[in-house]
Amino acid sequence: MNPLRPVILAAAGSPRMKQAVTKVPVTAGVVRRFVAGETRAELGPVVRQLLDSGRSVSIDFLGEYTTERAMADAAVAEYVSLIDDLAALNDRDTPIPRVEVSVKLSALGQSLGPDGPAIATENLHKLCAKAVESRVWVTVDAEDHTTTEETLENVRQLRAEFPWLAVAVQTYLRASEGRLRELAADGARIRLCKGAYQEPETVAYQHRAEVDAAYLRCLDVLMRGQGYPMIASHDPALIEAALTMAVENGRGRGDVEFQMLFGIRDAEQRRLAGEGHAMRVYVPYGGQWYGYLMRRLAERPANLGFFLRALADR
């Protein structure tokens, strides 16, 4: 693991650091590299360009760990408007919609005390109902490990009504492989990612080689299962392995999907899409970009260099 990772992720939780960093306007190069803009108006052209290039998208309205009911309600309202906007851009004839949204349950109220989980479930249900109407599907992001069981339970319940509802699973969590066996047997759409939070050794692998090995084991479970694997990684070795495993398991181009983050490995995204693979780009927008940006900086020390230069130039 990169030695700066724990330091940057710890800073991600510091209100003072947040205050200093968010003074940088969203247009500062490094933020804009990872975040499509602050508003839906700024997001629109970015989405259209990605769709025109043959890629699919999953749009995230930035926000997490909501501490007030009003903020959760505001996030739901924004997602409803977003889904309306996106419906106009969607292809109606693909088996899996090219346009979807990603959502964090902590933004929908999960962390609002004892009633939080119920509030988040109710809010996610509203978004899923809206998604059916608009054919803009939903994936639930994976957050820190204290939320994982609750999030998976929430998704399990809602999948009875909305079987297309997808969820992200992090391979750094020791418990993920077992959880995936159940989800894969159930035919779920699963986004498999390494995991972006700072987690204790008791629950998560700490070394890169262990996380990568777990990724391959989890991917094997998904490829053999009944569901739809979504390989969310920029790692060339894992992408190569996924392409081979798909062939070995008789999965065609429409049975597996690759996913990458907006602003990362753009040429590789285009290459995979150009070869006819389903390639979805996770595109965040909104004013609450701090936590998201810090996780991207923690993944790659070189990004931190760009960011510090942007701060120094002000």
Burial of 196-211, coded b for 16+ CB within 10 Å and e otherwise, reads: bbbbeeeebbeeeeeb
CB of 145 to ligand FAD, least distance (A): 10
CB of 155 to ligand FAD, least distance (A): 12
d(CA 147, CA 160): 21
Helix, strand, coil content of the chain in percent (nearest 5): 50, 15, 35
For residue 142, CA distances in Å to 2, 59, 209, 248 come to: 21, 15, 21, 28
The answer to the question of residue 174 lying near ligand FAD (CB under 6 A) is no
Tokens of 159: 């999948």
| Contacts to ligand FAD from residues 11-40, by CB under 6 A | none
84's CB contacts (< 8 A; 6+ apart) are 134
In residues, how long is the chain?
314
Q: Which of 162, 164, 228, 282 binds ligand FAD (CB under 6 A)?
A: 282
The answer to the question of residue 259 lying near ligand FAD (CB under 6 A) is yes
The answer to the question of residue 303 lying near ligand FAD (CB under 6 A) is yes
Q: Which of 234, 255, 270, 310 binds ligand FAD (CB under 6 A)?
A: 234
CB of 299 to ligand FAD, least distance (A): 4
Mark whether 52 is an active-site residue: no
Residue with tokens 């923690």: 298
Annotated active-site positions, please? 141, 191
Annotated binding-site ranges for substrate: 104, 295-296
Q: Which residues bind ligand FAD (CB under 6 A)?
A: 141-142, 168, 170, 191, 193-197, 232-235, 259-261, 264-265, 282, 296, 299-300, 303
